Structure 1
Amino acid sequence: MVSKIKRQLASLPLFAKAALLLLILLLLLAVILLPIFLIPHHHRAELPPASPGNNNGSTGPDDVVAFDFSPFLVMYKSGRVHRMDGTDRVPAGVDEATGVTSKDVVIDGKTGLAARLYLPRGGGKEEDPVSGALLPVLVFYHGGAFVIESAFTPKYHVYLNSLVAKAGVVAVSVEYRLAPEHPLPAAYEDSWRALNWVAKNADAGPEPWLRDRGNLSRLFVAGDSAGANIAHNMAMRAGNEGGLAGGAAITGILLLDPYFWGKKPVGAETTDQAKRRQYEATWSFICDGKYGIDDPLIDPLATPASELRKMACARVAVTVSGLDDFEERGKAYAAALRDSGWDGEVVQYETAGERHVYFLDAPKNPKSAKELAFAAGYLSRE
């Protein structure tokens, strides 16, 4: 039988022999590959790249966590900082939804101090069509626990576009240095320099959006969370240092869900000692242990009434959210300011059933729109 097959193969033309050989090879390849496609596979999510270990296989400083500030960042003993949020950036330009125009400026190239400026639709050519006057000036400090976020991140760019359009202000969103690479007071020093830079430019330039469009007699300072903490401390510093550059005065401050804390609970603030120790530890991490949890920088309730009365502005607005750990101290701050004998106006705005700075993450929420309207009205009111 085998001899017969050999005779038949020998009698085939050369091209037929080649075709037959190719067919045999294809069949063998199919036999090899078929199990790969038929056997089910278990898919795994891609793992992050591993840190390089020591040659002896032991754990190195880049693998050991020095401080876990989740969900914001993790710092390793090597000094490496891994930020989990607030690292995306969006360019300045014209916002199609609001017509607001933005641009970026460098205030100090050595430290990286910068800002994003915002001008409402028509703001570069005409006076404010409502009041017939130049535009109020807003200096805004972003939040992020002093460790994440930026004036250039998407959530703040969206919020500032909306606020500027609704309030009709020229705004300066400050890009200050972050901890832990630059622990406090770096953010406070940057913020103070930026505020005085704005005051100088709104008075005499050379920044045209501030010089030609800004009304320095209507200067507001605002921020959310850590940025609200900064805004409060800027008004306090202005009071203690006799005002801003060129004698400029702050009309009002707007504190959105301010980041204030302290050693002892106030009102209905949590009494959970583990949580309170955690907040104390994160504050120490932010300032590298320079200031205690009862320092007036973080706990304005520790400020004597005689000092609170030096607050250098005519009015203060404080917003709080019902599910926010900082709600009670925000309300206590407003009450303390009223009771201190300070002769300015204190306005409080409360949102029930919402967490800390909810309006940034859910700008289309009806409650967010309502709070935005409050903020815009506060800034645009004569």
Structure 2
Amino acid sequence: MIEGVFCVIDYQSVLNDEIKQLKPSGIRRFFDIANEMDNVISLSIGEPDFSTPWHVRQEGIKTLEDGKTWYSPNRGFMELREEICRWLKHRYHIEYEAKNDVVVTVGGSEAIDLCIRCLINPGEEVLIPEPSFVCYRPLTEMAGGVPVTIETKQEDKFRLTAKALREKITPKTKLLILPFPNNPTGAVMRRRDLEEIAEIVRENDLLVLSDEIYSELTYGDTRHVSFAAIEGMKERTVVVNGFSKAFAMTGWRLGYAVGPKEIIAQMTKLHQYGIMSAPTMAQYAAIEAMKNGDSDIDEMREQYDMRRRLIVDGFNAMGLTCFEPEGAFYVFPCIKSTGMTSQDFCEKLIYAEHVAVVPGDAFGDCGEGYVRVSYSYSIKHITEAMSRIGHFLKNL
């Protein structure tokens, strides 16, 4: 550089090509628009409106007061890993060994990233049922893998069917992602569904990443069944879960993965270099949540169920056909009758009525014609939003 003359850098030429090609999250766009407007009601983010239970917050506070602010072991505190194993055995009847089968991560998202990167070589295919959460496809691409979409349909209750799975398997297929209970549809896979999928997994020697972050939020008499609990699947499956949804601990950023020790060892190695360890105070709070938080989950689930029924009935009464979700805290109403695309519907709604929801195509192309609406908000919040949406539809 000549003195007094500044060099102009072509940043597009120096940035990573893979990262440049990734699309920004479709969820965040309307959330950002909402933040710039007054009097907006947002039903766009999967953020529990409950505060973290007080006894859990107290444990985090006590950790700070006691000066427990040091690094934890890379895999997480042994006491937390033991609680995770106890929890999984008690709730889902799967047994893991705390020393080698568990790694504690910064949210479930890190665990998903670690799993995909440790299992996928360039060119290998990853099967992704869609509509589904936005991270699976880009994380697969960044690992050099090839994402292969399996469309789930409303007539199948948005469940992954054995027929749809078989049609997508090729000699390059290595990993199946099971995102159930599902974000954005609220679909749940029952035991009989999982057993059919397990048969195909065995036949084709596949591995499975089962994202079960919403496992505690299922409704009705039948509770969540972990894919690892299906005969012969524990040895093939990495289960990802966390504390954000069940315990309203989104901001604590804590998740975990359990699975075969050989896979967890490699995930831990990557975790060591990229993160090192999850936050100490969050881990102590999570121990308290798992030990004494059953009633908190029951209370929140009951509230979500009430909101679920309110919002499903509301959309159906408006003429927007709405599949009844059996898990998570989202509904996925069909807006095809309006003649608008998902993007147009959401954009016109937020500017006309100041209500933010998420276009269905943010969760895969097959989500076009739907919108995702979160009911992780208060009854008052939901009721006002539904009134505004009804007004919007009448004025079309």
What is the TM-score when the length of structure 2 is the normalising length?
A: 0.27
Select the structure of larger CA radius of gyration.
1
Higher relative contact order (CA 8 A, sep 6+): 2
**Per residue, is there more strand in 1 or in 2?**
1
What is the TM-score when the length of structure 1 is the normalising length?
A: 0.27
